[in-house]
Amino acid sequence: MTDLAIHVDHVSKQFHLGTRFSYMRFSETLLDAGRSLVQTPLSWLGREAADPASTHDIWALKDVSFEVHQGEVLGIIGRNGAGKSTLLKVLSHITRPTRGRVGVAGRVGSLLEVGTGFHPELTGRENIFLNGSVLGMTRGEVRRKFDEIVAFAEVDEFLDTPVKRYSSGMYVRLAFAVAAHLEPEILVVDEVLAVGDARFQQKCLGKMGDVSKSGRTVLFVSHNMTAISGLCSRAIWLERGQVKTDGAVKETVAQYLTVALESAMTRQWPIDSAPTTDKIRLDAVRIVPEQQTDLLATDTPFTIEVDYERFANSGSLNLSAMLYTSDGVCAFNAVSPTDESPPGCYTARLHIPGNFLNDGVYRLRLALVCNLQPQVNIEDILMFDVQDGPRHIPFHGEWIGVVRPRFDWETIPFSSRSYT
């Protein structure tokens, strides 16, 4: 008897972009007639209307093969558009593969989008039973788990309210609670956990850990490499719809991050196209983690390196490195001391300590100023991602604030006294 939970055999999935498929509905017939009325006068004027039936095919998945054993926790990582969500939809039987076969042993509980399988007009109570039925549970099974689901989702007072009035956080809490508590043999979770707050994310990660310890299988897609590394024993790295690496989670995450850092955190120009004035030329900018194969995490020290050449009349020089969050807030502006070095090629280094930046995406703006006159000033010269690092406080998610320093705390005892 095999212990395989999932078997994916040379699976490919093709999508057609820009192609209209007709189902001979009245609305389509009416729309086609309207298009014909518009296109005919254009042809008389010698203009060609855009072809609505132009075809462009993309392969979201290409020849993907792997196996997952029962009780295994598999992380699936990759850039946006790599095919992660498409793979989960194929495994959940939401969409059929164009080629290949998928074998799944057991019932699958899927949480791929906020409120998956919910009807907006039904109440939370009704949707619990509806979603349980969709997952193949009997009414008695749902009733036995009902109180646990409601307690986990924390929607007691809104249980008889239509879910269309729920916030996105309430939606995802209830959806995850149903999917995780109705005991599917295989739990499939996409990046939807990012909708919840930090406390709820920790509850979900703990629940997925409990599910895996009970011998059930978990497939987890996330851009949070710390969550992947902490929860999963194995990871698959998808790149352009293909399996690039399949192996132990630590090695796979390290390979993925190394490639991501190298491609996103270095910018270099040929001499003939580099940003140049009569005083200075900017040659390259790099983000260099203290350990090249390490995760650029909140506790990882790194250096911003700037290569440039000073010309004969450059005079006094200051470099200004401005770091912005993804929503445009300036985290800091670090200005170098005034430098009056002779003409030549130099590398300036700005050291950023660990336990300083919050997790999130940052954009670097760089300015080179000679004799108090800006010479080079480039916005978004680099973009990089600082991931959640190891913590002394156990939850995942963004902390409040632009920076997240770890200062030293001291706790000392004192004799009991009364306050007046």
Place of tokens 């956080």: 169
pLDDT of residue 168: 72
Alpha-helical regions (H) of 220-292: 225-231, 249-264
Mean pLDDT in consecutive groups of 10 residues from the start of the chain, 420 residues: 82 76 56 65 54 66 92 88 88 87 83 69 88 78 88 86 83 79 80 62 76 83 78 90 90 77 78 92 92 73 94 93 83 93 95 88 90 90 78 54 76 67
111 is a domain residue: yes
pLDDT of residue 29: 66
- Whether residues 228 and 291 fall in one domain: no
Longest dimension (CA), the chain: 96
Predicted pLDDT of residue 61: 92
Q: Measured on CA atoms in the order 210, 216, 221, 226, is the torsion positive or negative?
A: positive
Is 398 among the domain residues? no
Residues 189 and 275 in one domain: no
List the CATH number of the domain containing 204: 3.40.50.300
Q: Does residue 393 lie in a domain region?
A: no
Q: Please tell me whether residues 183 and 239 are part of one structural domain.
A: yes
pLDDT of residue 27: 60
Does residue 354 sit in the same domain as residue 217? Answer: no
Question: pTM for this one?
Answer: 0.60
Angle in degrees, CA 384, 390, 394, rounded to 5: 120
Q: What angle do CA 259, 263, 264 make, to 5 degrees?
A: 115
Is residue 249 situated within a structural domain?
yes
Q: Are residues 8 and 37 in the same domain?
A: no
What's the domain count of the chain?
3
Residues 317 and 201 in one domain: no
Check the CA dihedral 390-391-397-403 and report its sign. Answer: negative
Predicted local distance difference test score (pLDDT) of residue 193: 60
Q: Does 82 fall in a domain?
A: yes
Q: What is the pLDDT of residue 327?
A: 67
- Residues 109 and 251 both lie in one domain: yes
* In a shared domain, residues 322 and 213: no
The reply to whether 253 and 108 lie within a common domain is yes
Residue 396, in any domain of the structure: no
231, 104: one domain? yes
Task: Report the alpha-carbon distance of residue 102 to residue 37 in Å, rounded.
Answer: 46
Tell me whether residue 391 is in a domain.
Answer: no
Are both 93 and 230 inside the same structural domain? yes
Strand partners, 360: 386
Q: Which domain holds residue 200?
A: 4-12+60-261
Write the CATH number for 381: 2.70.50.60
236 and 139 in a single domain? The answer is yes
Domain final position from 261, 280, 310: 261
Work out the angle at residue 265's Cα, subtended by the Cα atoms of residues 191 and 274, and round it to the nearest 5 degrees. Answer: 140
